[in-house]
Amino acid sequence: MRGVHARQGQPGSSTARPRPCCGFLSTNRTRSIWPLTESPSVNISASTRTSTIDVVVDYVLTVLLPQLLHGLVFGAALGLLALGLTVIFGLLGVMNFAHGELYMLGAYAGIAVIGVTHSFWVALLVAPLLVGVVGAVTEMTTLRLVYNREPLYGLILTFGLALVFREGARQIWGGDMRRILPPFTGSTPLLGMTYPDYRLFLLAASSLILLALWLFFTRTRAGIVVRAAVQDAEMLDGLGVDVRRVFTLTFAASGALAAVAGLLLAPIFTVYPQMGVEMILLAFIVVILGGMGSMGGSVAAAFVIGIAQSLFSLWMNPQRVAIAIFGIMIVVLIVRPRGFAGREGVLE
């Protein structure tokens, strides 16, 4: 299948992570042998200082800066995923545990479309539509049954849906890890280094989509209707607006948004049935940090988490990175219990 590769191994980035300079991260320290009663006089030559500065500059340009850009790229894509989750929670009051599986289905739907059309760009248009249809059918047949019940019912239902979607993908596409080749290759000189063109495209595309969504919710009549449904769905229904249709279309759009994120990240990460589990945990952290139901807060939190995870991965193993991310969430919630936005339940 052109453009799609299957491989065995562990999920990870498409590019090898730069290894930090050993001198900066060395844990071997020598104990001072100077007498306690004397202060040593150390003469540092100009050449030594220049060499140290060169090493620091080299470390920043070759290690820190690429990781910072990786974090921005990942944060932008994570923002797409978290934004859909935020809208669903703000509108329906449901924490959708199946949202990560819609992200996963977007990647697999892209693989299927690429296999037929041999075009990544066609897949980027068609795959979100397919996943959006899945989202609409899911909302109409299952989620409507729990809108007026305790939140626990919604959690249990969406958790079950996540299992169904995950195992369905495994039965259709198998459990092997797959990769989608980027639609173009090459690198661009940037700040003294070269950076992959596709990652720059991903950052630009995700940022433009986030901006378009903000304009939609704040400048269009349809967006204002959705925000009004969040505030008072019963009043909107009394004004003659088909609230059920608003709910269905919004859930479908959030699923399509998750699919876009899944397909855009597929050329960077591996595609496998459990890929949504890892992302949904980060998305939940982003939604909580941003303020439950706040779009602006979620986008800001997505970039914070993306950059933090990328930088922490330089010095920590994956388990410790996860602990550090949860630590950030705990500290922020202690200082601001309602997240960055300081409020919840509003789409702004």
Burial 79-96 (b: 16+ CB within 10 A, else e): bbbbbbbbbbbbbbbbbb
Beta bridge partners of 193: 190
Helix, strand, coil share of the chain (percent; to 5): 70, 5, 25
Residue 38: per-residue pLDDT: 42
Q: What is the DSSP string of 282-342?
A: HHHHHHHHH-TT-HHHHHHHHHHHHHHHHHHHHHS-HHHHHHHHHHHHHHHHHH-TTTTTT
**Within a domain: 121:** yes
Which of 212, 200, 335 is CA-nearest to residue 267? Answer: 200
> What's the confidence (pLDDT) of residue 72?
93
pLDDT exceeds 60 at position 40: no
pLDDT of residue 48: 57
Most confident of 61-65, 122-126, 340-344: 122-126
DSSP labels for 176-208? -EEEEPPS---EEEETTEEEEHHHHHHHHHHHH
In a domain, 49, yes or no: no
> What does the pLDDT average to over 185-203?
87
**Neighbouring C-beta atoms of residue 286, cutoff 10 Å:** 29
Assigned domain for 109 exists: yes
Of 117 and 66, the one with more pLDDT: 117
Number of compact structural domains in the chain: 1
Cα 331 from chain centroid?
A: 21
In a domain, 40, yes or no: no
Among 94-108, 142-156, 202-216, 333-347, the least confident range: 333-347
The domain of 291 spans 63-184+195-335
Other C-beta atoms lying within 10 Å of the C-beta of residue 162 = 21
- The per-residue pLDDT of the chain, averaged, comes to 81
Q: Tell me whether residue 16 is in a domain.
A: no
pLDDT value at 121 more than 50:
yes
**Does residue 144 belong to any structural domain of this protein?**
yes
What token pair was written down for 223? 């967006």
Is 309 within the bounds of a domain?
Answer: yes
Q: Within a domain: residue 347?
A: no
- Binned at pLDDT 50, 70 and 90, residue 307 comes out as very high
